[in-house]
Amino acid sequence: MSDDSRSALGQFWDELDLLVFVVGVGVAAFAVLAFALFEGPATDAMQGANDFLWTSLGWAYLLVMFSLVMFVLFLIFGPWGNIKLGAADEEPEFTFIAYFAMLYSAGIAAGIVFWGPAEAIFHYDAVSPFVGAEPQSAGAAVGAVQYTFFHWGLSAWTAYVVMGLPIAYYAYRHDAPLRISTVIAPWVGLDNLDGKTAKLVDILAVFATIGGVATTLGLVGSQFLVGIEWTTGTSFGDFGTVLVITGLTVAFTISVALGVEKGIRRISYFNMALFAVLTVATFVLGPTGYIMAVGTEALGGYINDFITMSFYTGAAATGGTGVAEWVGGWTIFYWAWWFSWTPFVGLFIARISRGRTVRQVAVTGVVASTGITIPWFATMGGTAIFLQETGQADILSVVGELVEAGSGYPLFEALPLGGLLTVLFLVLVTTFLITSADSSTLALGMLTTGGAHNPSTINRVIWGGLIGALASLLMVTGGVDALQAAAIITGGPFAIVTLVAVAAMVLTFGRQRALFLREEDEVDVPASADVVKGTDDD
């Protein structure tokens, strides 16, 4: 064995949080083996758990998410917004452009690429009971785009910011470890973040991240495979799907392992530039007037109906007592998906937010991200509906044959310069898959090393292979339904952890309110002034 190999193995072993790593890898490996060897029982068990969660506890997902949105609005407009995540005179680590590009690319942007051309056309045909319009009508079109704003707007980004802020505060003000369990510092104390309770929180974070990331990689990976088939005519069977997605994930992980910050930053710049080009080109070359008309009305409906939509279960419309199937299959799925991504994206936001204020992080992470997302969905959704309505492209038929992953390709082919736009869309799918794979394996590495900022290459390759294998197996065995079930199941526990994060900020920020309001005069405060010196249970 070479010296470099010994050094790599030594770093991997020395930094490892053995309990969290072993349990996390065990859960991922068990899931991979279960779906590989016992496809039927594994799929049935997961679907049964999923059905119970969204029918019996769907209301809880809705209540928690709305509470988080209200809290973030308080952080933006309230007295805690000027709290610095770092020393009082510390400058932000990254420029705003770099910061926003990385935050957006590592957040839900990969899912945005997948669902942008697909979701509105679904709602246009299978209308939400909340909208109450006839399928494929003008009212259905507006309601469809309005619901895409709701699913991907303020609520989608809120949970990430709530999770990232307390971690960044403790990490950069009190040298706490950069990991999810840091949110319980007010109760156990900064000196006890290696105890049993902290380990349990980090294990839950690994569990949630596995499900959330596997969902995203599976969805975007299927879009990548459909794109290859669409443009080249080459199709992949089940075995080919497993090999391609696993291989891509591992390859992307290795390719950027030597320069995480530079790699993610550069790819994020490229992502955002191509994202903007594709949005503007579709807006200009597509039905511009229709996009503006439907998008404007949908935005007004989103603003006006936000509170009602946030609490809508659909039970009254169907005469049922639980959460109606439409709401469970869409809104509850999305909220659970965002919760399952809070450990990964929350950690990443904390990692890049040093030197910024609470208000800057909240405005960038929620308001600015929503401001970029709405034009994308208005443009893609409006174009898809217009092309379907005018007969220029039968996107619904393509979706029926190739599921959601195929919706973007007929959309772009129907526009002027369609061949070029289709290739650009496939490139965007690929680059977002890269950032998702690398950022997620970075987060899992941080979670399983006790908070290392740059986990070893071996650690990330292990996670890349396991997550890629799980994503591809879920695609093969159950498709989108299985991926959605995985997100709902793994997101549930972290809905509770986000509330813990809120409580941590209330306790810590509230105790120091006078100092936070005089940030420019603040002096270093010992950890004991902010954090209760609790005791853990070990």
Give every CB contact of residue 156 below 8 A, 6+ residues apart in sequence.
108, 334, 338, 370, 373
pLDDT on residue 291: 96
Radius of gyration for the chain, computed over Cα atoms and rounded to the nearest angstrom: 22
SS (H, E, C) 29-71: HHHHHHHHHCHHHHHHHHHHHHHHHHHHCHHHHHHHHHHHHHH
pLDDT on residue 55: 73
Q: Is residue 59 part of a domain?
A: yes
Could you tell me if 303 and 151 are in contact, meaning their C-beta atoms sit under 8 angstroms apart?
A: no
Chain centroid, CA 26 distance in Å: 23
**Domain enclosing residue 22, as ranges:** 15-214+276-395+442-452+477-517
pLDDT on residue 523: 45
Q: Is residue 354 part of a domain?
A: yes
Report pLDDT digits (tens) over 443-479.
777 778 776 667 777 777 777 777 777 777 766 765 5
Token digits of residue 492: 């549930």
Q: At what angle do helices 260-285 and 96-106 cross, to 10 degrees?
A: 80
Token digits of residue 12: 């991997």
DSSP lists the bridge partners of residue 425 as none
3-state helix, strand, coil in the chain (%, to 5): 80, 0, 20
Q: Is residue 189 part of a domain?
A: yes
d(CA 139, CA 127): 10
Number of domains in the chain: 1
Query: Under DSSP, is residue 518 helix (H, G, I), strand (E, B) or coil?
Result: coil
Q: How far is CA 63 from CA 20, 43, 154, 366, in A?
A: 30, 29, 15, 18
Could you tell me if 341 and 498 are in contact, meaning their C-beta atoms sit under 8 angstroms apart?
A: no
Give every CB contact of residue 456 below 8 A, 6+ residues apart in sequence.
8, 11, 12, 15, 445, 449
Q: Is residue 139 part of a domain?
A: yes
pLDDT on residue 511: 74
Please identify which residue in the block is written with the tokens 């639980």: 322
Looking at residue 355, its amino acid is: G
Eight-class DSSP state of 324 = -
d(CA 80, CA 358): 7
d(CA 19, CA 178): 17
Longest C-alpha distance within the chain, in Å? 69
The count of C-alpha atoms lying within 13 angstroms of the C-alpha of 440, restricted to the half-sphere facing its C-beta, is 35
Helices (H), 391-456: 395-402, 408-413, 418-447
Q: Is residue 228 part of a domain?
A: no
Q: Is residue 221 part of a domain?
A: no
Could you tell me if 179 and 361 are in contact, meaning their C-beta atoms sit under 8 angstroms apart?
A: no
Token digits of residue 350: 């904390």
Q: Is residue 457 part of a domain?
A: no
Q: Can you say whether the dihedral through the CA atoms of 444, 448, 453, 455 is positive or negative? A: negative
Give every CB contact of residue 486 below 8 A, 6+ residues apart in sequence.
46, 211, 214, 215, 474
Mean pLDDT per block of 10 residues along the chain (538 residues) reads 58 70 75 69 73 78 95 93 87 88 76 82 90 91 96 92 94 87 89 83 80 70 71 69 70 56 71 90 95 96 96 71 74 86 86 92 94 94 93 80 66 88 83 72 77 72 74 64 64 86 90 56 47 45
| The model's pTM | 0.83
Token digits of residue 310: 């946030």
Q: Is residue 505 part of a domain?
A: yes
